[in-house]
Amino acid sequence: MLKQHQEPYIQEIKNPDLRDVRLFIKREDVIHPLVSGNKWQKLKYNLEEAKGRGYKTLLTFGGAYSNHIYATAAAAHEAGFQSIGIIRGEELRDKTLNSTLQFAVDQGMRLEFVDRQAYRQKTDPEFLNRIEQKFGSFYLIPEGGTNKLALKGAAEIVNKEVKKFDYICCAVGTGGTIAGIISAMQGKGQILGFAVLKGSFLQDEVQKLLKSYGTDQYTNWQIIDDYHFGGYAKTTPHLLQFIDLFQKAHHIPLEPIYTGKMLYGVFNFVKKQKFPRGSRILTIHTGGLRH
Ligand SMILES: *Cc1c(COP(=O)(O)O)cnc(C)c1O
């Protein structure tokens, strides 16, 4: 249902800082110009499910800068669904829309702004009933797009080639993507998730997701908490400089919220010699760039 514009591919990153290891990147970001990277994989089976069950409308949640809102609006538009975005922050209703929200509206998404308290209760049946009365029936995609079908899609990031690497590294927001990858690796390699949010809850969160997917027997994974740079969407000049240098050296675009932090973390791990000599490391470019 969602078109794949280009097949993701693996390329090597050659850099003098990578003395004893070999580093590669899987370019999931090329899969679609608007529904990029892991969001494409996470939405794919959800759209099929919604269609199969006869839904005409998708509904999801997010903050004002959410990649997930952006991707869902574009995916809904392409696949012929109506879409509704429940947006955190009542005060945004009367402001000029930022580029993410303007894009969503241009794709036909209806936005419903709710205050932070209502937003916290967004999955309560009472809240959802009210929304249904207002907008009609909808297929619900959770915040960040993470559910079982998202894991099934994310698992497809792993193919035969991916399974051969010693390390798989990816950025972690809600944990859906890494959980899909862990499941699909079936105990092979080591999977390192670089948390982009502050707090150590993601370890439990990923474990829960694996359990819901029936694949919580694997222990070859770890969440790294040291590279969130102060929390979600926080940056430092140092991080921005790393991204700038990386882009100039390798002609691979990065953004500072997810992939920039993950690659910074991987290069820092190399510097600290945390990977054994000769390791073959695959990073996942989960996309997130705006076109
Ligand atoms: C949303 C997003 C992630 C986080 O994925 P989760 O499945 O929520 O962990 C990682 N990278 C990019 C570029 C994203 O947009």
Question: Which strand (E) or helix (H) includes residue 93?
Answer: none
Residue ID of nearest Cα to ligand 1 atom 14:
288
Å from CA of 258 to ligand 1 middle? 7
Ligand 1 centroid distance, CA of 203 (Å): 16
Question: Does any ligand 1 atom lie closer than 6 A to the CB of residue 260?
Answer: no
| Interatomic CA distance for residues 262 and 272, integer angstroms | 15
pLDDT, position 114: 95
Q: Is the pLDDT of residue 290 over 80?
A: no
DSSP 167-213: EEEEEESSSHHHHHHHHHHTT-SEEEEEE-SSSSTHHHHHHHHHHHT
Query: Is residue 133 scored above 90 in pLDDT?
Result: yes
- Please count the other Cβ atoms lying within 10 Å of the Cβ belonging to residue 62: 24
- Separation CA 242–CA 162 (nearest Å): 26
Whose alpha carbon is nearest atom 4 of ligand 1? 173
Closest residue (by CA) to atom 15 of ligand 1?
A: 288
Q: In the numeric block, which tokens belong to residue 81?
A: 């669904």
Q: How many angstroms separate the alpha carbon of residue 177 from the centre of ligand 1?
A: 7
14-32 pLDDT, tens digit each: 999 998 999 999 999 999 9
Instruction: Report which ligand 1 atom has the smallest distance to the Cα of 289.
Output: 13
Confidence (pLDDT) at 291 = 61
**Rounded (to 5) percent helix, strand, coil in the chain:** 45, 20, 40
**For residues 43-72, average pLDDT:** 97
The full length of the chain comes to 291
| Ligand 1 pocket: which of 258, 262, 263, 266 to mutate (most atoms within 8 A of CB) | 258
Please determine, for residue 39, whether its predicted confidence score (pLDDT) is greater than 70.
yes
pLDDT band, residue 138 (cuts 50/70/90): very high
CA angle 266, 272, 276 (to 5 degrees): 80
Asked whether the beta carbons of 157 and 177 are under 8 A apart, the reply is yes
- pLDDT at res. 199: 87
- Residue 255 CA to ligand 1 center (angstroms) comes to 11
Q: Is 174 in the pocket of ligand 1 (CB under 6 A)?
A: yes
Residue type, 218: Y
* Percent of the chain with pLDDT strictly greater than 90: 96
- Ligand 1 contacts CB of residue 287 (under 6 A): yes
Cβ-contact 181, 163 below 8 angstroms: no
Read off the pLDDT of each residue in 133-160 and give the average, rounded to a whole number: 96
Q: Residue 276 carries which DSSP code?
A: P
Q: How far apart are CA 207 and CA 223, in angstroms?
A: 11
* Per-residue pLDDT tens over the stretch 245-272: 999 999 999 999 999 999 999 999 999 9
Question: 191 CA to middle of ligand 1, Å?
Answer: 15
- What's the whole-number mean pLDDT along residues 196-208? 95
Mean pLDDT of the chain: 96
H helical segments located in 66-201 = 67-79, 99-106, 116-120, 125-135, 148-154, 176-185
pLDDT-based confidence at residue 289 (cuts at 50, 70, 90) = confident
d(CA 59, CA 37): 20
Asked whether 115 and 20 are in contact (CB, 8 A), the reply is no
Residues 114 and 217: their CA atoms lie apart, in Å, by 39
- 286 Cβ inside 6 Å of ligand 1: yes
pLDDT band for position 183 (cuts 50, 70, 90): very high
Question: Closest ligand 1 atom, CA of 42?
Answer: 7
Reported as a single tens digit per residue, the pLDDT across 86-111 is 999 999 999 999 999 999 999 999 99
Contacts of 160 (CB under 8 A, 6+ apart): none
Q: Is the pLDDT of residue 141 over 80?
A: yes
Sign of CA pseudo-dihedral 259, 99, 113, 57: negative
- Residue 90 is predicted with a pLDDT of 92
Report d(CA 36, CA 23) in Å as an integer. Answer: 22
Q: pTM for the full model? A: 0.97
